[in-house]
Structure 1
Amino acid sequence: MTTTDAPTERPRYGNYIGGKEVPTSGGETFTSINPTTGREWGAFALSSASDVDAAVAAAHAALKGPWGKLSPSAKGRLLMAWGEKIAENARRIGTMESEQNGKLLAEMQAQAKIVKDWLFYFGGLADKIEGRVIPLERSSVLNYTLREPLGVIGVIVPWNSPTLIAIMSMAPALAAGNAIVLKPSEITSASAFELVRLAEAAGIPAGVINVVTGARETGDALVGHAGVAKIVFTGSEQAGRSIAAKAGSRLAACTLELGGKSANIVFDDARLEQAEAGVLAGIFAAAGQTCIAGSRAYVHRKIYDRFVERLAVRAKQIRLGDPLEVATQMGPVATRAQLEKDLSMVAQARDEGAELLCGGQRASVPGFASGFFFEPTIVHHTRPDDHIMNEEVFGPVLCVTPFDDDEEVLALANGTRFGLAAGMWTCNLQRAHSFAKRLEAGTVWINMYRALAFNSPFGGYKASGIGRVNGAEAVEQYLQTKSIWCELGDEVQDPFILRL
């Protein structure tokens, strides 16, 4: 077990701008906390608007300088080289992320390894961005289009999967030829510095990717900066609405991947062991701290009692502990505020008439008395309008509800303002594909859950977001089209000469 009492030197970080680590203009800092131990992990720059301004200026300089002058093929090869560097350092990156957000080292390390696939994919697309020639009535006129980068992209990423989400956001933007100002979560800021240093070690010019750290004020300065062409944000619905309004006020574009309240539907013809594993993984993997968490499970009444009993037995057996240890199955939630939110939302659900099948309390883990651990929790006897059925918990809390027929469960699943993902478990493929078309969600899984790929689009319906990451269409969202017209003939086009 990791020792919790031995004193260690706390890392300290400045911003990373134009290829150099620099202090903030005001010299202010903030600290991050290790949620497993409850102790300080490190100190980071609390950036002001002037720091953001310096980062945006560095990104523009890179666009006008070395990055802008590289061919698309050269850019693509550099992205691929960056992917190799990250994969080589995956354990180190995963460890610092696990220490900062409490998720399992196995998951954080795996995410750091697989981002290589994203960088290879989008690196390969960099020289596939093409314009087109437009056929016109007048044969003497050549009209063609160019696809050009937007400019500087502001990327704001959350704490739950910092490396994966940063690369999902940055890879298509860089493949399109843009430059980046990255603002990581104040909870997990450290890995962003590793990514930018490895990018430059791979040959990506200084200033193409810049990092500014801080809290909401830092993000606000980035969103409102006139030199930022687009904002890419992953986080809460409330923050996303605020960002969209602020960016929209200056006509800047946004890609937003926001919250979810995803339904996981188990029909009576499902393979129960497969469905059981999928429902458990859908909510308790990563302690429920994923936007795609299957937090609402709907189970056919014929199998409800038996299935839910099995879920509760398995949930009680989940091993909580140090996320750096191989035997640990679930680590702490990321912050004290999240722990308090979990407790509060479960308490409110009980006040509204729900009952607990298991969990619902802060967990006691030997050796980590100050850790932010919460018991795997299953709630039932909820109503569709209960607070916990409509708001994202972002913790290890599952609500289970019986249903009687297909139309009823479809209405229940779609009865939310969110629409990020949904899952279903059935052996009836006709039903499965019919349901997939009618579910109001950007991603639908059939007999599986929590799967993503670099070449498959991902994003939400309704309040779950705007735009898509992953897949070839992601690059399109970082380009603008220029139409060029050229008269090739000698005819004088005089508007004052009347032609009949």
Structure 2
Amino acid sequence: MHADQIPAGILPAQNALYYGGAWHAPADGEFADTLNPAYNEAIRQAPVGRTADVDAAVQAAQAAFPAWAALPPAERARPLYQAAEVLRKHADELALLDALNNGNPVSILAKDAHFAADGIAYFAGLAREIKGETIPMGPGNLNYTVREPLGVIARIVAYNHPLMFAALRIAAPLAAGNTVVVKAPDQAPLSTLRLAELIGHLFPPGVVNFLCGGAECGQALTTHPLVRKITLIGGVPTGKAVMRSAADSLKPVLLELGGKNALVAYPDADVDKLVEGIVGGMNFAWSGQSCGSTSRAFLHESLHDEVLGRVAELVQQRHKPGIPTDPATTMGSLVSAAQLEKVQRYVAWALEDGAQLVTGGKQPDDPALKNGFFHEPTVFAGVTPDMRIAREEVFGPVLSVFKWSDEEALWPIVNAVDFGLTGSIWTRDLATAHRAAQRMHTGYIWINNTSQHFLGAPFGGVKQSGIGREECFEELLEFTAQKNVNVKLA
């Protein structure tokens, strides 16, 4: 769908920054093209927020904080429930907008608004559960704790699920009594602006604020003295930059970063389900642009050849790149020229390092896709631990397949990477499954499953895959400070 074919009502009517309950032009008047990556053409221009805009948004959030924090939990929950219903009502149009702006297929993006709505309602329901404790101190003393909101929270979200991340990630801090400033991904800001139009008015002015911008906008948020916590969904280099910036003011951080996730298949795995799991776990529909993708598949030698052949066949059948706004498309484009170039570099390095190309490995031949940032789903076999595609996150549609025979030699290789976000284990034996889960150094593990998230189950990584947990009660507590009160009784 080209820019002149976009149906009325899909693009945000406003083209400004939203803070303090109103729309504001960027302070220096800067706008930049935001692209449709399927055609490498501009959809429209989007506002570029800089340091002055960040300061104005944070000041508005700080001004709104005392009154919002003082509201009873049930009153804070009410607009959150309303926001969830609005998202469900507008799910299809929001999916189309993200498909236009980030290149993921509209057919799969339709789930994003619903998952965000479910998450917002989940945290709204937990607003009353932020509780303290009483601690015995003996006669003559009453000791208790309370949990209080922090203040202004900055949330920097990623381009692979722009609407879902921007919507879902406001819920926990708001339920806990904080105010929020969201920075949209600079590659795909349009659904965040539309989100502001749809739900901004449900909250008192300054409680929720939405900015667009690049590195300067993010840097200004991490260093602003009134921002009490900074959170990021993004890559490891950006996460490290956020931590460095936050260190001067000792801001706490919550980081969901990259992954080089392993899928380990034992000899007794159900082969039919395993093949589905490998292809599904790679998130080819998102062109592999998912931090949770199981991009390293470790197949036992007894089933390696059969599974590899069937995986290649299923990938070719199921995931043919196509125009993201077409409901029939099962695999979209990469988000940008830079991301396409990165994938191409890793494919070239894999071939140089001696990996065997099983399928894919290039841009598609379809003339309709020639101008976009498309890349075929790619599978490499014969991958060894020293190769770059075995160690580094590609964030693209590239699956690395390993063959293993000795379990004791397997686990040091699985755990050798700097990442530890997700993992997947395939076996029919209960003891094997639990033993493998103990040995896999990650924050989130599926057994005989991949990719699925469950509200209430803590999602997050270890090592360089992040700090903290989200989508669970612990995320709510991330945005509170514990205070102890001791009363000496007369």
TM-score bracket, shorter-length normalisation = over 0.9
Q: 2:302 corresponds to which letter in structure 1?
A: K
Match in the other structure for 1:330: 331
Shift of residue 46 of structure 1?
1.4
Match in the other structure for 1:496: none
Match in the other structure for 1:19: 21
The reply on whether 1:239 has 2:249 as its aligned counterpart is no
Q: Which moved more, 1:36-45 or 1:179-188?
A: 36-45
Contact 2:263 2:294 in 1 (8 A): yes
CA distance in 1, matches of 2:341, 2:155: 28
CA distance in 2, matches of 1:36, 1:91: 19
Match in the other structure for 2:103: 102
Measured against aligned partners, the alpha-carbon deviations of 1:19-44 in whole angstroms (never above 9, x if no partner) come to 11111110011111101111102211
CA distance in 1, matches of 2:455, 2:242: 26
Shift of residue 172 of structure 1?
1.1
Could you say if the C-alpha distance between residues 205 and 365 of structure 1 is closer, same or farther in structure 2, counting changes exceeding 3 Å? Answer: farther
Shift of residue 61 of structure 1?
1.2
**Which residues of 2 match residues 62-73 of structure 1 at below 5 A?**
62-65=64-67, 67-73=68-74
Match in the other structure for 2:438: 437
**Which residues of 2 match residues 137-156 of structure 1 at below 5 A?**
137=138, 139-156=139-156
Match in the other structure for 2:217: 218
Match in the other structure for 1:285: 285
Match in the other structure for 1:275: 274
Shift of residue 7 of structure 1?
9.1
Match in the other structure for 1:497: none
The reply on whether 1:263 has 2:262 as its aligned counterpart is yes
Contact 2:107 2:329 in 1 (8 A): no
Q: 1:32 corresponds to which letter in structure 2?
A: T
Contact 1:4 1:37 in 2 (8 A): no
Residue 117 of structure 1 aligns to a residue whose secondary structure is: helix
Measured against aligned partners, the alpha-carbon deviations of 1:304-338 in whole angstroms (never above 9, x if no partner) come to 11111111122222222112222211011111111
CA distance in 2, matches of 1:142, 1:427: 53
Determine what percentage of the aligned residue pairs are the same residue. 36
Shift of residue 366 of structure 1?
3.8
Could you say if the C-alpha distance between residues 411 and 309 of structure 1 is closer, same or farther in structure 2, counting changes exceeding 3 Å? Answer: same
Residue 401 of structure 1 aligns to a residue whose secondary structure is: strand
CA distance in 2, matches of 1:77, 1:111: 22
CA distance in 1, matches of 2:3, 2:365: 15
Residue 33 of structure 2 aligns to a residue whose secondary structure is: strand
Match in the other structure for 1:311: 311
**Which residues of 2 match residues 409-488 of structure 1 at below 5 A?**
409-488=410-489
Match in the other structure for 1:378: 379
Measured against aligned partners, the alpha-carbon deviations of 1:263-300 in whole angstroms (never above 9, x if no partner) come to 01122211111110110111123110100111111111
**Which residues of 2 match residues 193-204 of structure 1 at below 5 A?**
193-201=193-201, 203-204=202-203
The reply on whether 1:32 has 2:34 as its aligned counterpart is yes
Contact 1:4 1:368 in 2 (8 A): no
**Which residues of 2 match residues 151-190 of structure 1 at below 5 A?**
151-190=151-190
Shift of residue 143 of structure 1?
2.6
Q: Which moved more, 1:297-306 or 1:148-157?
A: 297-306
Measured against aligned partners, the alpha-carbon deviations of 1:120-149 in whole angstroms (never above 9, x if no partner) come to 111011111112222213x33333222100
CA distance in 2, matches of 1:426, 1:136: 50
CA distance in 2, matches of 1:123, 1:308: 45
The reply on whether 1:394 has 2:395 as its aligned counterpart is yes
Shift of residue 303 of structure 1?
1.3
Q: 1:435 corresponds to which letter in structure 2?
A: A
CA distance in 1, matches of 2:467, 2:453: 18
Task: Compare CA radii of gyration and give the structure with the larger one.
Answer: 1
Shift of residue 8 of structure 1?
9.0
Measured against aligned partners, the alpha-carbon deviations of 1:154-188 in whole angstroms (never above 9, x if no partner) come to 00000001222233422111111100010010111
RMSD, aligned CA: 1.7
Contact 1:29 1:43 in 2 (8 A): yes
Contact 2:167 2:195 in 1 (8 A): no
Residue 287 of structure 2 aligns to a residue whose secondary structure is: helix
**Which residues of 2 match residues 101-120 of structure 1 at below 5 A?**
101-120=102-121
CA distance in 2, matches of 1:114, 1:4: 28
Could you say if the C-alpha distance between residues 6 and 145 of structure 1 is closer, same or farther in structure 2, counting changes exceeding 3 Å? Answer: closer
Shift of residue 196 of structure 1?
2.7
**What are structure 1's unaligned runs of at least 5 residues?**
490-500
Shift of residue 70 of structure 1?
1.9
Q: 2:271 corresponds to which letter in structure 1?
A: L
Residue 432 of structure 1 aligns to a residue whose secondary structure is: helix
Q: 2:95 corresponds to which letter in structure 1?
A: G
Residue 440 of structure 1 aligns to a residue whose secondary structure is: coil
Contact 1:150 1:178 in 2 (8 A): yes
Match in the other structure for 1:494: none
Contact 1:30 1:214 in 2 (8 A): no
Q: Which moved more, 1:443-452 or 1:72-81?
A: 72-81
